[in-house]
Structures are given as C-alpha cells and as structure tokens.
C-alpha cells in the first residue's frame, strides 16, 4: 500500500513524547474501543468502566497538572491523544463522552482552590467520577450573557433554579460545572458552581436523541430549589463569564482537532474503498473523478491540519488567539463537512448504510459547525478581532 502524506505526517510540533502518547492512545483504543464501537454507538452508551481504563492508561489526565492526578503536558498532547483515539477507536461518540471533562475541568483547574481541585479534579482524572459542563439553556446558547438559571445566596448555600440543555455526559455526570446567574443582567452577573449528583433539587429531566455522537449521552438538566454549598463556587462571584470565554478558545481548537481526526478517518476509509470497489472493468480509483475527489479531500485536510498546528503552538506559547481559534474551527469544520460528504459519495449506496463507518462519521460531523460556538458566531469573533 502506498503511503499517504497525511496518514504518516505528524503535527509539526510533535516530539518523541507525543509519538509515545500516540502509541499509547492507539493501543488503548484498538483494544478497548474499536471492537465495541458499532455496538456502543447503536446502544447510545458505552460502559462506565471505560473511564477507569482510560485513566489507568494515562489518557484522561493528558494536559492536566500532575499535582491533581494529571499526566502533565498541554493542548498539543491533548490533540494528539484525541486524534489517535478517534482514528483507532472508530467511535466519535465514545471519544467525546469520555472527554467531557475536557470542558468541565479547565475552569476548576484555572480558578479553583487547592481543596476544590483535590475534590473535583482528581477523582475525574482517576476515572472514578464523570464530569460535565452546563452553560447552554433552552433560551440561551450562542448568547451566553442571557442565561437565566439563578443562584441566590442563602446562608452557607446557593439556591439554584433553572434548566440547562444539550449537556454532553449530563445523564451520568457525578459533577457538573454549571453557569448560573448570581448577579444582575448581562455577562457581569454570571458565576460557575459545581453541582454534585445526588444534591436535592438537581435532576436529569431528559436524555436527548440526536443526529450523531450516539455513544455519548446528551441531557437536559433541571434545578429546582437545589441547595449547593458556597464552597462549590469556582473563582469569584460574578466572574464566570471570562472563565467561560477562556474555556471556549481551547475547546474550539480541540474541536478543530477532532474534525481533522474524523476527516482523516473518512479519507482513509475512502482510499481503501476506492481501491477495492470495481465498476466498469476497473477499480473506481481508476476513474479520474474519484482520484480528484480524494485529492481535494486530502488537500483540504492538510490545510486545516496546518492551521490546527499553528493555533496550538501559539496557544502553548501563551498568546491569546481567539480570532485564530475561531478561524481554525471554521476551517476545520468546513473541511470535515466536505470530506465526510465526499466519503459517503465515494462509498455509493454503502455510504448510506448504518453499518458502514462513513455513514456514521457523516452524522457525527454535523455537530461541529454548531457545538462550542456556531460557525456564524466564529465569524463574528473573526470580524471583531480583525477590527471591522
Ligand atoms: C451534541 C451537542 C452537545 C453539546 N454539548 C454541550 C455541553 O456539553 N455543554 C453546553 O453548555 N452546551 C453544549 N451544547 C450546546 C451548544 O454549545 C449550542 O448548541 C451552541 O452554542 C449554539 O447554541 P443554540 O443551540 O442555542 O443556537 P442559537 O444560539 O439559538 O443559534 C441558532 C442559530 O442562530 C445563529 N445566530 C445566533 N446568534 C447570531 C448572531 N449574533 N449572528 C449570526 N447568527 C447568529 C446561530 O449561528 C445558529 O445558526 C451542545 C450541543 C450539541 C448539539
């Protein structure tokens, strides 16, 4: 088999450490995820035990400080581990479910006290607890400053009332980092509270059915007179909005990396299918139109990958790059939507069938121009940072 430049090309930032991490993530995912990928996606769930297994392999702690049970490293390590898990595990839903702590924990790591980090971060990185981030509400998604879920101080507790929706891992999370309104209207009145499973007044009101990412659960959460101890406030009261925005910048880069991984998987599947499938007396790879489709797919993939690399390196250098992160997310989601669509086309009727991987990737990819900030909101950020 000939070598594809994309399939063998590591990110430019990669060191021997990243190579070893790739190997670990690949071995783990081939053994623990791939054999069950289709069944778990169809079942809309994967076993809870997988969190502990991933933690034992050192994968849940990637990019988290060693002081709190993390494996060290930075976003470049997280990108590499996530890419290999998607490529070798072949279940995007499982990977995003397993990775929901990637958005739930960073505000706690950034702003939490040592005691909060030991209570909330360590058990999640050990795979003992599951965490989720709850910002979106039925009436406020892109417009985070309009969230209504209220937290009113009552002695040593906050009393929380409201609801959240579209929350990844929300159905089985043991702790949820929740954006609440503790102050007046707008972005200045928002705080972050950790709400633990079992707290009276906190419940999962609905498990939501969705287009893709089937193996991960997505929930609607309800808070009714839910009493949360003040010790669970993360950072200063009314300072949550900035923490949410900082979280978004990293999440967007990470989502862009997932798009690259999904597209890479769809591309590999398509090359292999085009070699094996015959029509009109030759493999369909023998038709120039198919070869050109693949050439377009891999070219766009390489371009998006380069942007992810650029953005990651700047991020690690400590540069604030919200505009570049937004560009990277849009470039990667556009590329991924194109690649999975072409992959289905190359697979013909098979590409429309449930047991064929590219059919699932096509559905999984639809989330990326929506989640973590929509394509339109990314363009707003780009326009703002470009100064027009
Ligand atoms: C599978 C899935 C998992 C998710 N996981 C989580 C999670 O774990 N935690 C969490 O908090 N949220 C989560 N979300 C929510 C996600 O972040 C939101 O769906 C997203 O931010 C968009 O918000 P919205 O759905 O309310 O759309 P809206 O904000 O209502 O937007 C609707 C449309 O209007 C457009 N629009 C809005 N404002 C503007 C504007 N100013 N200019 C131009 N166009 C605009 C949008 O781009 C979009 O096309 C998840 C969503 C999904 C689907």
| Tens-digit pLDDT profile for residues 333-346 | 999 999 999 999 99
Task: Quote the percentage of the chain above a pLDDT of 70.
Answer: 98
Decide if 320 is inside a domain.
Answer: yes
Predicted confidence (pLDDT) per residue in 121-179, tens digit: 999 999 999 999 999 999 999 999 999 999 999 999 999 999 999 999 999 999 999 99
Q: Are residues 246 and 233 in the same domain?
A: no
Active site residue 310: no
Decide if pLDDT at 2 tops 60.
no
Q: Is 263 exposed, middle or buried (0-12, 13-18, 19+ CB in 10 A)?
A: buried
Within 6 A (CB) of ligand 1 lie: 132-136, 141-142, 166-168, 210, 213, 218, 367, 370-374, 376-377, 380
- CATH, residue 92: 1.10.540.10
Q: Is residue 205 part of a domain?
A: yes
Range of the domain at 139: 131-238
pLDDT at 183 over 80: yes
203 and 184 part of one domain: yes
Of 374, 357, 370, 375, the C-alpha closest to 92 is 357
User: Does residue 104 lie in a domain region?
Assistant: no
CA distance 267 to 336: 10
Q: How confident is the model at residue 9 (pLDDT cuts 50, 70, 90)?
A: confident
The percent of residues in the chain predicted with pLDDT above 90, rounded, is 96
Residue 109 belongs to some domain of the structure: no
Does 204 share its domain with 247? no
What confidence category does residue 1 fall into, taking pLDDT thresholds of 50, 70 and 90? very low
**Is the same domain home to 247 and 382?**
yes
* Summary mean pLDDT of the chain: 96
Residue where a domain stops, chosen among 214, 238, 262? 238
> Which residue of the set 41, 220, 251, 264 is catalytic?
251
105-117 pLDDT per residue, tens: 999 999 999 999 9
Per-residue exposure over 342-380, b if at least 16 CB sit within 10 Å of its own CB, e if not: bbbebbeeebeeeebbbbbbbbbbbbbbbbbbbeebbee
What is the CA(62)–ligand 1 centre distance, in A? 27
Domain boundary among 188, 208, 238: 238
Out of 185, 215, 238, a domain closes at: 238
Q: Flag whether pLDDT at 56 surpasses 70.
A: yes
Do 232 and 262 belong to one domain? no
Q: Are 264 and 308 members of one domain?
A: yes
Domain CATH for 210: 2.40.110.10
Q: Are residues 279 and 373 in the same domain?
A: yes
Under DSSP, is residue 30 helix (H, G, I), strand (E, B) or coil?
helix
pLDDT for the residue 134:
98
**pLDDT band at residue 92 using 50, 70 and 90 as cut-offs:** very high
Q: Residue 3 pLDDT more than 80?
A: no
Residues 41 and 65 in one domain: yes
In a domain, 123, yes or no: no
Residues 294-310, mean pLDDT to the nearest whole number: 96
Mutate-to-test residue for ligand 1 from 105, 140, 141, 147, highest number of ligand atoms within 8 A of CB = 141
In a domain, 215, yes or no: yes
In the predicted structure, residue 51 carries a pLDDT above the cut 60:
yes
Q: Both 249 and 382 in a single domain?
A: yes
Longest dimension (CA), the chain: 79
Atom of ligand 1 at shortest range from CA of 100: 8
In a domain, 106, yes or no: no
CA of 167 from ligand 1 middle (Å) equals 11
- What's the CATH code of the domain at 367? 1.20.140.10
Q: Quick one: 294 and 253 in the same domain? A: yes
Choose the weakest-confidence range: 9-13, 231-235, 325-329, 368-372.
Answer: 9-13
The verdict on 254 and 380 lying in the same domain is yes
Q: Distance (Å, rounded) from C-alpha 332 to C-alpha 260?
A: 6
For the stretch 108-128, what's the b/e string if a residue is b when 16 or more beta carbons lie within 10 angstroms of its beta carbon?
Answer: bbebbeeebbebbbbbbbebe
Is 35 within a domain?
A: yes
Please tell me whether residues 267 and 342 are part of one structural domain. Answer: yes
Per the structure, how many domains does the chain have?
3
């Amino acid at each position: 088999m000939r070598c594809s430049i994309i399939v063998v090309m590591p990110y430019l930032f990669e060191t021997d450490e990243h190579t070893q991490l790739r190997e670990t993530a690949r071995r783990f995912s081939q053994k623990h995820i791939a054999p069950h990928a289709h069944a778990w996606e169809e079942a809309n769930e994967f076993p809870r035990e997988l969190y502990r297994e991933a933690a034992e392999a050192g994968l849940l702690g990637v990019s988290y400080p060693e002081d709190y049970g993390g494996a060290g490293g930075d976003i470049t390590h997280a990108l590499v581990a996530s890419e290999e898990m998607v490529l070798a595990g072949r279940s995007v839903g499982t990977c995003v479910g397993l990775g929901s702590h990637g958005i739930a924990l960073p505000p706690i790591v950034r702003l939490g006290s040592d005691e909060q980090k030991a209570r909330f971060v360590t058990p999640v990185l050990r795979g003992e607890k599951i965490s989720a981030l709850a910002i979106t509400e039925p009436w406020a998604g892109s417009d985070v400053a309009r969230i209504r879920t209220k937290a009113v101080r009552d002695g040593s507790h906050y009393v929380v009332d409201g609801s959240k929706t579209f929350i990844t891992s929300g159905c089985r999370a043991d702790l949820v980092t929740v954006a609440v309104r503790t102050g007046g209207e707008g972005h200045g009145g928002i705080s972050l509270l950790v709400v633990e499973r079992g707290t009276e007044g906190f419940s999962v009101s609905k498990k939501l059915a969705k287009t893709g990412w089937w193996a991960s659960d997505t929930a609607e959460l309800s808070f009714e007179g839910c009493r949360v101890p003040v010790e669970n406030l993360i950072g200063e009261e009314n300072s949550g909005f900035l923490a949410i925005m900082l979280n978004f910048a990293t999440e967007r880069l990470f989502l862009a990396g997932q798009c690259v991984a999904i597209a890479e998987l769809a591309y590999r599947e398509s090359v292999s299918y085009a070699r094996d499938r015959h029509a009109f007396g030759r493999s369909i790879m023998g038709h120039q139109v198919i070869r050109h489709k693949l050439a377009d797919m891999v070219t766009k993939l390489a371009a998006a990958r380069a942007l992810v690399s650029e953005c990651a390196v700047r991020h690690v250098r400590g540069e604030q790059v919200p505009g570049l992160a937004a560009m990277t997310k849009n470039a990667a989601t556009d590329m991924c939507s194109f690649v999975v669509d072409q992959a289905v086309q190359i697979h013909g009727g098979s590409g429309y069938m449930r047991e064929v991987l590219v059919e699932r990737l096509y559905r999984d990819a639809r989330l990326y121009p929506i989640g973590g900030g929509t394509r339109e909101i990314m363009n707003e950020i780009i326009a703002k940072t470009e100064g027009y």
